[in-house]
Structures are given as C-alpha cells and as structure tokens.
Amino acid sequence: MTTDTLKEEDPKARDLAKSKQMASAVKSQQAARRRSMGMVKNYFPIALLALLCIAFALMNHRFVTLSNLVTVLQQTVTLLVVALGLTFVIIAGSIDLSVGSIVGMATVVAAMTAPSLGALAIIPACAVGLLAGTINGFVFVKGKVPSFIVTLGAMVVYRGIILIFTSGTTISIDDERFVNAFGGNSLGVPHSVVIAVVLTVVCLLILDTTVFGREVRAVGGGERVAALTGIRVERVKIGIYMLLGLLAGVAGVLNGAWSMAATAQMGTGLELDAIGAVVVGGTPLTGGQGSVLRTVLGCLIMVILSNGMDMVGLDPYIQNIAKGVVLVAAVFVTIDRSKISVMK
C-alpha cells in the first residue's frame, strides 16, 4: 500500500470515527433524558402531596389537627375504593365512566335492604355492582365496542335505574346494625378506613403478585403481543370490569353508611374524581404501567386539595380551576408518548 493511499483513507477513517462518537453522544443524551423523565414521573405525586400539605398548613393551622386528619381519611374512603378498581381498568388500557352510577345503585340497594338485612345488606349491594361491571365487560369485549362508549351509555342507563327506584326522593338509612358496621368507629378508628386499607392491601397483592395482575399489565402494554403469548385477553378485560363493579358495590355501602341516606344523585361525578386520582397518582392513561400505591397517593392529593382549599376559604369556582390544572399537569408528566404516534 502506497503512502498516497494511506493519506486518502485517513480522512475517511476520521469521519467515520467522528460519526460514531456523535451517535454515541446522542444515545447518551437520550438515555439521560429518559432517566430524568423517569425520576420526574416517579417523584411527582410525592412532591405534589408534600407541597400541598406544607402550603395548606402554613395558610391554616387547623389543617394539621388530628380531627382534620380523620376527616381527610373518611373523605378518601369512597374515592379510594373506586379508584382501586379503576387502576386495573386503566392499566389494562381501558376506561369506565359508569362507576359513579354503579356506586349510586349499590347505595340505593343497600338503603332498601338494610332494614331487613342489617350489615348483610352489603351482599345485595355488591351483587348489583358485580352484575353491572360484568355487563359492561361483556358488552365491551363481545360487542367490540370501545370502553368509553359502552360505559358512557351505561352511566346514563344506571342513573335512570336509580331514578326509577328512588322516584327522585331520598331514602334514609337509619338501621343501626348497618350504620355501625360500615360507618362506626372502634378505638377512634373509622371502620370504613379499616375496610379501605384492607382492600388496598388485597388489590396490591393481586396486581403485584398474581398471574392476573401480570396479565393486566401485559394487556395494557400491548394487547396483540399479550394474545400471542397465550394470555386470554377477553377474559382479562371482563375480569377487570367485574372487579371494578364489585369494588363499586363496596364503595356504595360505605358511602351510604357515611351519609346515612341514598339519593338519586349519589355518586354523580365520582367517576371523574376517581379517574383524576388514578392519573394524578402516576398511572398513565396509555396503559401498561401503574400501581396501587400510586393510586393511594393520587386519592390523598385530590382529597387534600379539596379539603385544604375549603379550609382556606377558596372560592368554589377557583377550586374547580385548580383541580383541572393539577389533572392536566399530571397527564402531561405521566403520559407515555412513545405509545402515541399521533396526538389527537
């Protein structure tokens, strides 16, 4: 090889080396960006919760009292129980807009059966919730109708059923057995809070340690891939709606015991608060990711936000704006943009 040939090849080799270095630098920058975004997603709910607690404590000293803490926990119960079920649905990549109406139906059934069954009124209430969830799941899966449309229609249908049975009036719940079982206290701890904690642990174990939980994540991460691996996708989808319906039944019972009444508007808007809690907690609407503990954080954020704004006397209209801003910020932070080719 001549000296002239070496001189010609040297610039080419240098250019190739520079290209490799630039590609390596770009990959390193992308990896660092992904790590930083991952840290933001992981710590956003905790940071937001801490910020809200500090801000409201400084604005009103009564915010940090024991009585207000108990109030916050009691206000969290119904939202948390519903949000636990929605966590499975959203991780699987679906949605449910009818859950507020299902809670309302369960509350009405509990109010109608409590005088004769007492605390056992939870059985027919949960049965109604389970049935409604099963219907949603079957229509969604077997009818090949988007979950948004199915549950939007179901929301209206179930609300109509509530109006038929209540005639638009309030049904009082004054059975002591029922109220004491689900709305009473033991050693200063509300029974409803204990029930919510137990359900949280159960849902945590189901999602993180069972085959069903892994299948839910797989379906949300990629439905076609999950089917190719042998997962019965339709069974999983129906299962998550059955679980949500059952939990909505429990939420209806707890709600009825707390308010000691069932009204035609019971549960109205609860679906939006629950979806907001799940998303604010860090579970993206794109599916495949999320956890029960994140949902707990999201519920605490939503309740503390409302509780704190009430205590400082913030105008209700401003409160709605604040909740909307928090929700949009949470979606902005948690959404997995790699799963969305076109933003519509």
What is the token pair recorded at 173? 């719940």
What is the token pair recorded at 180? 């004491």
Task: Report the C-alpha gap between 166 and 266 in whole angstroms.
Answer: 11
What is the token pair recorded at 231? 């997962």
CA distances from 38 to 135, 214, 286 (A): 37, 21, 16
Q: Tell me: pLDDT of 251 over 60.
A: yes
pLDDT for 344: 41
What's the one-letter identity of residue 44? F
Task: Report the C-alpha gap between 84 and 271 in whole angstroms.
Answer: 12
Q: Tell me: pLDDT of 16 over 90.
A: no
DSSP 190-223: EHHHHHHHHHHHHHHHHHHHSHHHHHHHHHHH-H
253 DSSP 8-state letter:
H
Task: Report the C-alpha gap between 94 and 241 in whole angstroms.
Answer: 10
Q: What is the pLDDT of residues 210-232, one digit of tens each?
A: 999 999 999 998 888 988 889 99
Burial profile 179-206: b = 16 or more Cβ within 10 angstroms, e = fewer:
bebbbeeeeeebbbbebbeebbeebbeb
What's the one-letter identity of residue 27? K
Model pTM?
A: 0.85
Task: Using DSSP bridges, classify how beta strands 261-262 and 171-172 pair: parallel, antiparallel or unpaired.
Answer: antiparallel
246 and 298 Cβ atoms separated by less than 8 Å: no
CA distances from 37 to 165, 277, 290, 337 (A): 50, 21, 15, 12
pLDDT for 342: 44
**pLDDT band for position 62 (cuts 50, 70, 90):** confident
Q: Tell me: pLDDT of 295 over 60.
A: yes
Give the chain's length.
344
Q: Tell me: pLDDT of 160 over 70.
A: yes
Q: What is the pLDDT of residues 190-210, one digit of tens each?
A: 899 999 999 999 999 999 999
pLDDT for 343: 42
Number of Cα atoms under 13 Å in the Cβ half of residue 98:
35
pLDDT for 63: 86
Please calculate the CA angle 319-337-321 and round it to the nearest 5 degrees: 10
84 and 247 Cβ atoms separated by less than 8 Å: yes
Task: Report the C-alpha gap between 257 and 120 in whole angstroms.
Answer: 13
What is the token pair recorded at 87? 């966590």
What is the token pair recorded at 281? 């907690």
pLDDT for 338: 58
Query: Which residue is associated with the tokens 């954020």?
Result: 301
Mean pLDDT of 131-150: 94
**Closest-CA residue to 86 (of 264, 230, 295, 256):** 295
Task: Report the C-alpha gap between 118 and 104 in whole angstroms.
Answer: 19
CA distances from 280 to 28, 198, 311 (A): 30, 22, 22
Question: 142-147, long-range: CB within 8 Å, 24+ apart, which pairs?
Answer: 142/234, 147/89, 147/94, 147/95, 147/96
Give the residues across from 189 on adjacent strands. 186
Classify the phi-psi angles of 188: left when phi > 0, otherwise alpha if psi is within -120 to 50, otherwise beta.
left
What is the token pair recorded at 232? 């019965």
